[in-house]
Structure 1
Amino acid sequence: MKRDLKTLAAETFDVVVVGEGVNGLAIARDAALRGLAVALVERDDFGAGNSSNSLKIIHGGLRYLQHLDFRRMRESIRERRILLATAPHLVKPLGFLLPTHGYGLHGRLAMGVALAMNDLVGWDRDATTDPERRLPRGRILSSSRCRELVPMGLPANCTGGALWYDAQMLDSERLLVSMAESASAAGAVLANHAPVRALLRRQDKIVGVTVEDGETGDQFPVLGRLTVNAAGACLDSILQLDPEIRATPQPLSVAMNLVVKRPLLGNVGLAVSTALGAPDPEARARRKDRMLFITPWRQGSLIGTFHLPYTGPPEEFRFSRYHLDSFLQEVRTAMPWAELSEGDIGLVHAGLLPSVSTGGDGNHAILATRPRIIDHAHLHGQPGLLSVMGVKWTTARDLACKTVNTVFRILGEKPAPCLTAKTPLPGGEIDNMSSFLATEQSWARCQGWSGTTARRLAERYGTRWRLVAASASEFLEPLAPGSQVLGAEATFAVRHEMALNLVDLVRRRTDMGTAAAPGAEELKAAATIMAEQLGWSPERMGREIAAVQALYAFPAVTP
């Protein structure tokens, strides 16, 4: 996978996609697999926006029962099944526990009915014979069994718990890179760190975009028969580049997830009620609370998602002390047993999501729940432009399929079949994960390599791990004492995965910094490898290290 600006500038594409978050990448991959000529550009890096800011959960739609929305349940169940089958090294089942109490909606009987309906609607939830990637049926547990699973965190009036299974992304950033690799392998031309500076117009039609090379500042046109704006929170900012497009701005909310450096649970996730928040206006069964989830993550935990309203341009959003203190207050109120301090936090993911309102009091955000595909030819009389607003990771593939069907319709061509439901992501060609890992560890030992290291690489890169190791066999040692990341991973990221700066490498190509700040020695070693590969000066290397360190500094207390 190469960053090919020369081809971007020289060709005319069927579709130009703006935005390399999960939705933009899914659209580019789907379109390229169907034979369209695709260009994909992004102002920052793959998933640098909100696609990396999540609880890493692939939802099966249990929450849609309160809406009696069985169509969305079926959609979510199908998409969860597809991800478990096409990326088995990066997605696995995870149990979730919701404590029960009383005799109403929170009681054992009501939750037992909900779990039975969920299993009935999801009768085909498994698409693999691999027992480790199959989802067990939900069930109601006794209070004593709940306390065995979750020794802390259960309310005093707990009568038991509802246990159901969804899926967890082991590495959402690696999933995004895999989507980019799949799109590239199918012929898409990709460029990260290439912001769009203008929408190009020929007569009354949008015919592409003007792109700036973030490395050099040079600008050039990228032409396409159709432009798809999938810029996420910056969707309106792209539209505002053309004064002829008078779109109503999409309300936004701040979304935050905490990475905690210590484990708070065992091997299940826990749903915790909090009295804060606005009720869901679409729900048939109304609840006055909202849920925070705690999930096991690496050697620690993830807590989220917390939402606050946001007003202002998306480019000006900055994570502030107010955001952090508001989140910590809600966590401490909802789960005092965790005794969470600021020192426990390894990383805060913060970004912007589409919302529909502020809940009436201006203090709470009500999130958008339905994706949108906007044909500006119909809405604003501006042909040649689509805008796509996704609302969750789980259904990004399905939204991409519908978007590409729309692209074919606008181009006046019969849609080719969508292939993404059956096409494994790169590295995901695995029938049985345990057998695969055992085979790869055995092979590695025969080569004189560490079986433990081989297992970690195989879990991260799937069937491509040998390619990673072989591409830089001189760097098969960890970056620093105590580090799990190999120099070969850093080298591979630069040579084959379009890592252009140290933040790309630390946050989205390796797992150096996905749970907490990397150590100083590890960070310097990674920067040294990138400097050798990319010809950085000592001054540039120092700036790159400082940029990474700034990501893990919490906002200062306002005097």
Structure 2
Amino acid sequence: MQRNLNKLANTTYDLLIVGGGITGACAAWDASLRGLSVALVDKVDFGSATSAASGKIIHGGLRYMQYGALHRARESLHERMVFQKIAPHFVHPIPFLIPTYGHLLKGKEILTLGMTLYDLLGLDKNNSKAPEKTIPRHRVLSRNKVLELFPDIDRVGITGGILYYDCQMHNPERLTLSFLLTANNAGADLVNYVKVKEFHKKDNRVTGVKAEDTITGEKFDIQARVVLNASGPWMHSLLRPLKRVEPRVNLQFSKGIHIITRSLTKNCALALATKHSHAGALVNRGGRHFFIIPWRNHSLIGTTNVPFEGRPDDKMVTERDILGLLQEINAAYPAASLKRQDVAFFYGGLYPDDIKRSVGDAYQGARKDQIVDHSTNEGIDGLISALSVKYTTARKLAQRTINLVFRKLGYKPPECLTEKTPIHGGKIERFNDFLFAETERNASRLKKDITRNLIYNYGTAYAKVLGHADKNPGWCETIHAQLPIINAQVIHAVRDEMAQKLTDVVFRRTGLGTVGDPGEAALQTCAYTMAGELGWDAQKIQRELMEVREVFSPSP
């Protein structure tokens, strides 16, 4: 995958996608597989905003059950199964425990009824030949069993718990990138760090955009028969220059943050209720849950949800946010006894909220994806906007959006192929068998944790990463003594995955910085390796290091 601005400027595409998060990535993949000529640009790096700020869960839509939105729960359960099938190296089952207290709405009785219906909605959830991908039915646990699993949780009034399974993404940043790599393999032209300045219009039709390469400052035009605005929180700011447009996309966002801490749980995630209610729920059990999830030998905890009134480019996480979440966690789970120094990393993002959110702090996240054809009400043809409410359903949203693109182009939509096409590195029938075989095959060359890390992040494509090390054995060396990340991954990121900045490599290509600051030595190793590939001078290296350090520092 290479940056080719000249091709962007000299091609008229069927479809230009603005935004390289999971919505744009899935749309580019789908459209390319169906034979359209596709370009995609993002003003920063691919998948660096909302798509990188999730709870790392591909979930079956359990929260929809509270609202009686059974069709949305059904869709989410189906999409979870699809993700396991097309991205088996990234998406893996994980158990969750919900402790129950008392009876009625907060007890086992109501929750068991809901979970039984939830299981029925997901009858096709195990459409895989790999036993490790099996999603078991929920289990009702006794009080003693719950306390055996989590002896430190609040015992007052506890009656037991519900154990259910969802799926976890090992690395959502690389999962988003893998959709883009698959689109690129199918012919899509993708370029990061290209900002759309304005739309080109002829009469009442959008015909392309005026763009700028933010790395070199070069300005150029991109022509397209249809433009898809998949820019998420930046959707309105992108539409605003079209002065005739009064956007029909309902946009209100809440800010959510997550923290990475020392490990609090081992093999099971824990759901604990907060004091914040689910506004609008048909069955309100008394408090929104946050989750303590085992991830890469740490705990991932979140999320907060507060109305957001700033700008999408603002730094998301403040020191106050972190301290507030710590206070909330310790109130719900005193045994955690988390302190500020226990927070190894943090991140935040903007999530679509319900435009009818009640006054106050009750959480009511948006439950419906949006697709807007701007020719319908605004009279601007050739322009579509699409907004996904969660990572899990992005593929399905893309399918519906590309169907509309075909109709806008005057064609009958051909069959969508994304439900049965593995993404880049994902052609693995039995993941555990593949993992074991490849780990053993490389045992004389690599430590097992290095091979495992490569396979979890690249799937079958890990061999291409190691191909770089064939030319320089030193690139098999780890960057950090406690992390199984090797220098060849940095080389691969620059040469094959369009990494342009140190932040791209540290946070989105290798995961080096996603469990905390790896230290100056590791960062400098990455920076000097990239400098050798991209021709950075000493000043540029220092600027890149400073940008990475900024990510590890919250706003005051």
What is the TM-score normalised by the length of structure 2?
0.96
**1:255 corresponds to 2:253:** no
Render the CA deviation track for 1:405-444: whole Å, top value 9, x for unaligned.
0111111101111111000111111111221112112221
State, as a whole percentage, how many aligned pairs show the same letter: 38
**Cα drift, residue 293 of structure 1:** 1.0
CA distance in structure 2 between the partners assigned to 1:285 and 1:532 by the alignment:
58
**Cα drift, residue 62 of structure 1:** 2.1
Render the CA deviation track for 1:42-101: whole Å, top value 9, x for unaligned.
011111111110111111122222222221121011100011111111110011111112
Render the CA deviation track for 1:458-517: whole Å, top value 9, x for unaligned.
222111111110123311111243342101000000000000000000000002011111
Partner of 1:343: 341
Are the equivalent residues in 2 in contact too, given 1:255–1:351 (CA < 8 A)? yes
Partner of 1:463: 460
Are the equivalent residues in 1 in contact too, given 2:279–2:362 (CA < 8 A)? no
Partner of 1:417: 415
Distance 1:361 1:73, change over 3 A: closer
Are the equivalent residues in 2 in contact too, given 1:256–1:305 (CA < 8 A)? yes
Residue type of the partner of 1:255?
A: G
**Cα drift, residue 358 of structure 1:** 7.7
Residue type of the partner of 2:173?
A: E
Render the CA deviation track for 1:306-339: whole Å, top value 9, x for unaligned.
0111113323454333333333332232222211
Alignment map for 1:147-186 (pairs within 5 Å): 147-186=147-186
Render the CA deviation track for 1:313-372: whole Å, top value 9, x for unaligned.
323454333333333332232222211111111111112122234844344553211110
Distance 1:155 1:196, change over 3 A: farther
Residue type of the partner of 2:204?
A: D
**Cα drift, residue 294 of structure 1:** 1.0
Are the equivalent residues in 2 in contact too, given 1:99–1:154 (CA < 8 A)? no
Residue type of the partner of 1:326?
A: G
Range that drifts further, 304-313 or 169-178:
304-313
Are the equivalent residues in 2 in contact too, given 1:149–1:266 (CA < 8 A)? no
Instruction: Please list every run of 5 or more consecutive structure 1 residues that lacks an aligned counterpart in the other structure.
Output: none
Partner of 1:187: 187
CA distance in structure 1 between the partners assigned to 2:328 and 2:377 by the alignment:
40
Are the equivalent residues in 1 in contact too, given 2:49–2:349 (CA < 8 A)? yes
Residue type of the partner of 1:93?
A: P
Partner of 1:95: 95
Are the equivalent residues in 2 in contact too, given 1:153–1:338 (CA < 8 A)? no
Partner of 2:145: 145
Residue type of the partner of 1:453?
A: I
**Cα drift, residue 230 of structure 1:** 0.4
Are the equivalent residues in 1 in contact too, given 2:449–2:484 (CA < 8 A)? no
CA distance in structure 2 between the partners assigned to 1:318 and 1:85 by the alignment:
33
Partner of 1:523: 523
**Cα drift, residue 453 of structure 1:** 2.1
Alignment map for 1:381-396 (pairs within 5 Å): 381-396=379-394
Alignment map for 1:303-452 (pairs within 5 Å): 303-316=301-314, 318-357=316-355, 359-445=357-443, 448-452=445-449
- Could you say what secondary structure the match of 1:51 adopts? helix
Partner of 1:228: 228
Are the equivalent residues in 2 in contact too, given 1:483–1:522 (CA < 8 A)? no
- Could you say what secondary structure the match of 1:457 adopts? helix
CA distance in structure 2 between the partners assigned to 1:95 and 1:480 by the alignment:
30
Partner of 2:469: 472
- Could you say what secondary structure the match of 1:3 adopts? coil
Give me the CA root mean square deviation.
1.6
Are the equivalent residues in 1 in contact too, given 2:257–2:317 (CA < 8 A)? no
- Could you say what secondary structure the match of 1:528 adopts? helix
Residue type of the partner of 1:392?
A: K
CA distance in structure 1 between the partners assigned to 2:313 and 2:270 by the alignment:
34
CA distance in structure 2 between the partners assigned to 1:426 and 1:119 by the alignment:
30
- Could you say what secondary structure the match of 2:307 adopts? strand
Residue type of the partner of 2:436?
A: A
What is the TM-score normalised by the length of structure 1?
0.96
**1:279 corresponds to 2:291:** no
Residue type of the partner of 1:423?
A: T
Partner of 2:290: 292
CA distance in structure 2 between the partners assigned to 1:368 and 1:70 by the alignment:
15
Range that drifts further, 390-399 or 314-323:
314-323
Residue type of the partner of 1:273?
A: A
Distance 1:39 1:396, change over 3 A: same
Partner of 1:200: 200
Residue type of the partner of 1:101?
A: Y
Are the equivalent residues in 2 in contact too, given 1:174–1:508 (CA < 8 A)? yes
Equivalent residues, number = 552
CA distance in structure 2 between the partners assigned to 1:100 and 1:483 by the alignment:
38
- Could you say what secondary structure the match of 1:493 adopts? helix
Partner of 2:11: 11
Partner of 1:112: 112
